């Protein structure tokens, strides 16, 4: 083989560097598994970060307590990152998510602490307050996001400009209608959304509900695998070998149950546990009381959001159109896709996700403050990009963005444990962001 000529028939077998010769058997096996190699690479990087920090911190990083907190801290960014993936995939950007979050969080705080109890005279602590607040917040988020999307799609103003304006406008509005006040306290059920504790009520599922949710998710994974296999069989398509199917199912289920196990290994704080024992007439054993906390509500919310947005992105026309627009906007329009409507809807979705994150963050703080969500847009965009979303459009996945958010938060959390100061944290996260995208570009160029 003197001169290598790229063959027309099989361009995907074109790379013949020594590197690819080494990894070829591995990629062959991965192809049989039909798993996203980028996702797998990111998981590998995450494990390296985790075990690295665990060694450096003397075993603190991988303690149930730290992992539980890490999951809660990642949730609010991860929720928004799922929507940011679709925005960036369609060749747009949303710089306003932090300000939208602040504005929506403020509005929801006002609804539950002022409008419903005082203006409408229902008083505080009504059982319906949390859900009414949340639904109104999500609807307002869709409206606010949709308004920006309307200007982008139908007004033809670049999304960078529209959402840069939004970043200023929504933040400014907070000061306009709250005069810089902090709104607190929030309704107690609403507070549960943040994963905190109020008295003996805990913003988490608890032991057995957590296991139940985990098992249901496992069954769902297996069911989806079987259903997909059956469908492909019916059309006579090749299916992946049984060992590969079993491995993918076992690893996915193991991950789900692992998360539940970690969350259940984290006990309630001593004073909460004692109070709980007193209320329920449990005698406290001499070695102390171990009541598992279970999966935190913010994480539950994040999982639901992930499922819903993944479904929209991969199983619905809306998602297909978002990816088509990102891949080739002209082709999408010529195929008869309503490009403008799709873009507007993607921004509306982003707004409602910002509202959900706003609920989580205000609930966790038990207050709405004026700097709520400041710079969140940077974390959200970074999470999406570290998760493999490409700014050239058309490429990116929701699970990738979730992983990206966890990677970012793991770096921050690990550095906090190692007592690294905040400016240094920023420097490291910034470098990792650039390095991750650089590496990804390099690898993809090699593969192609």
Partner 1 sequence: MQTHVTQTPVATTQRVPLVQLRDIQVSFGGVRAVRGVTIDLYAGEVVGLVGGNGAGKTTLMRTLSGARPPDSGQILVNGQPVTIGNPRDAKALGIETIYQTLALADNLDAPANVFLGREVTASATLDDAAMESATRKVIARLNPNLKNFKTPVLRLSGGQRQAVAIARAIHFNARILIMDEPTAALGPAETAQVHSLIKQLKSEGIGIFLVSHDIHDVFDLSERISVMYHGGLVGTVNKDAVTVDQVLGMIILGKPPTNLTSQDLAELHG
- Other C-beta atoms within 10 Å of 305: how many? 23
Helix locations, 34-158, DSSP H: 37-56, 64-89, 97-110, 129-153
Site for partner 1 in 139-198 (CB under 8 A): none
CA distance 332 to 214: 39
Beta carbon of residue 443, minimum distance to partner 1 (angstroms, whole number): 16
Close Cβ partners of 225 (under 8 Å, ≥ 6 residues apart): 245, 248, 249
What is the widest separation between alpha-carbon atoms in the chain?
85
Cβ nearer to partner 1, comparing 134 with 322: 322
5 near partner 1, rule: CB under 8 A: no
Q: Which stretch binds partner 1 (CB under 8 A): 38-46, 207-215, 227-235, 270-278?
A: 227-235
Site for partner 1 in 376-395 (CB under 8 A): 393-395
Cβ nearer to partner 1, comparing 337 with 385: 337
Three-state DSSP state, 198: strand
Beta carbon of residue 245, minimum distance to partner 1 (angstroms, whole number): 16
Cβ nearer to partner 1, comparing 324 with 363: 324
CA distance 229 to 234: 9
Cβ nearer to partner 1, comparing 267 with 329: 329
Q: Which of 179, 237, 419, 445 binds partner 1 (CB under 8 A)?
A: 237
231 near partner 1, rule: CB under 8 A: yes
Q: Per the structure block, which two tokens stand in for 306?
A: 């992930």
Q: Per the structure block, which two tokens stand in for 366?
A: 């038990």
Cβ nearer to partner 1, comparing 328 with 422: 328
If you search the block for the tokens 């978002």, which residue do you land on? 322
C-alpha angle 129-212-291 in degrees, rounded to nearest 5: 75
Helix locations, 154-206, DSSP H: 159-178, 188-192
Cβ nearer to partner 1, comparing 66 with 90: 90
Cβ nearer to partner 1, comparing 176 with 317: 317
Is-contact 189 130, C-beta < 8 A? yes
Site for partner 1 in 12-51 (CB under 8 A): 12
Size of the site for partner 1 (CB under 8 A): 32
Q: Which of 285, 334, 421, 445 binds partner 1 (CB under 8 A)?
A: 334
Site map (CB under 8 A) of partner 1, residues 294-333, x = contact: -----------------x--xxxx--x--xx-xxx-xxxx
C-alpha distances in angstroms, 420 versus 41, 154, 416? Answer: 27, 47, 6
* Side-chain half-sphere exposure of 134, counting CA atoms within 13 A: 20
Q: Which stretch binds partner 1 (CB under 8 A): 8-16, 173-181, 199-207, 353-361?
A: 8-16
Beta carbon of residue 216, minimum distance to partner 1 (angstroms, whole number): 20
Cβ nearer to partner 1, comparing 2 with 238: 238
88 near partner 1, rule: CB under 8 A: no
CA distance 396 to 444: 13
CA distance 165 to 239: 50
Cβ nearer to partner 1, comparing 29 with 331: 331
Q: Which of 18, 22, 156, 235 binds partner 1 (CB under 8 A)?
A: 235
C-alpha distances in angstroms, 320 versus 224, 237, 246, 429, 437? Answer: 20, 22, 29, 32, 24
H or E element, residue 412: helix 398-417
Residues that bind partner 1 (CB under 8 A): 8-9, 11-12, 231-232, 234-235, 237, 311, 314-317, 320, 323-324, 326-328, 330-337, 393-395, 448
């Amino acid at each position: 083989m003197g001169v290598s000529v790229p063959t027309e028939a099989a361009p995907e077998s074109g790379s013949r560097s020594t590197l690819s010769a080494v990894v070829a058997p591995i990629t062959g096996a991965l192809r049989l598994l039909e798993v996203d190699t980028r996702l797998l690479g990111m998981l590998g990087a995450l494990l390296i970060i985790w075990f690295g920090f665990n060694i450096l911190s003397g075993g603190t990083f991988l303690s149930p307590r730290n992992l539980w907190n890490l999951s809660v801290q990642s949730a609010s960014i991860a929720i928004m990152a799922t929507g940011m993936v679709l925005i960036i995939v369609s060749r747009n950007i949303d710089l306003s998510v932090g300000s939208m979050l602040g504005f929506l969080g403020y509005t929801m705080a006002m609804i539950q602490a002022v409008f419903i109890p005082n203006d409408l005279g229902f008083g505080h602590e009504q059982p319906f307050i949390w859900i009414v607040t949340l639904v109104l917040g999500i609807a307002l988020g869709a409206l606010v996001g949709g308004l920006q999307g309307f200007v982008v799609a139908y007004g033809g103003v670049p999304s960078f400009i529209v959402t840069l304006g939004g970043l200023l406008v929504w933040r400014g509005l907070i000061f306009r209608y709250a005069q810089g006040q902090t709104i607190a306290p929030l309704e107690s059920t609403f507070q549960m959304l943040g994963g905190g504790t109020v008295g003996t009520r805990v913003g988490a599922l608890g032991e057995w509900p957590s296991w139940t949710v985990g098992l249901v998710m496992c069954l769902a994974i297996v069911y989806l695998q079987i259903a997909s296999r059956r469908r492909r069989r019916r059309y006579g398509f090749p299916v992946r070998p049984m060992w590969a199917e079993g491995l993918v199912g076992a690893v996915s289920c193991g991950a789900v149950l692992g998360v539940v196990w970690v969350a259940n290994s984290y006990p309630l704080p001593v004073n909460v546990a004692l109070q709980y024992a007193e209320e329920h007439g449990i005698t406290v054993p001499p070695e102390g009381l171990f009541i598992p906390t279970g999966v935190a509500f913010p994480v539950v919310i994040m999982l639901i959001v992930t499922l819903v947005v993944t479904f929209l992105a991969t199983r619905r026309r809306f998602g297909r159109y978002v990816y088509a627009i990102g891949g080739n906007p002209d082709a999408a329009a010529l195929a008869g896709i309503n490009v403008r409507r799709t873009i507007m809807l993607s921004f509306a979705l982003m707004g409602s996700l910002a509202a959900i994150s706003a609920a989580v963050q205000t609930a966790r703080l038990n207050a709405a403050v004026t700097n709520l969500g400041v710079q969140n847009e940077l974390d959200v965009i970074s999470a999406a990009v570290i998760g493999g979303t490409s700014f050239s459009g058309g490429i990116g996945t929701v699970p990738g963005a979730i992983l990206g958010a966890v990677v970012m938060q793991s770096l921050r959390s690990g550095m906090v444990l190692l007592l690294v100061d905040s400016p240094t944290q920023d420097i490291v996260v910034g470098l990792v962001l650039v390095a991750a995208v650089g590496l990804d570009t390099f690898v993809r160029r090699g593969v192609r």
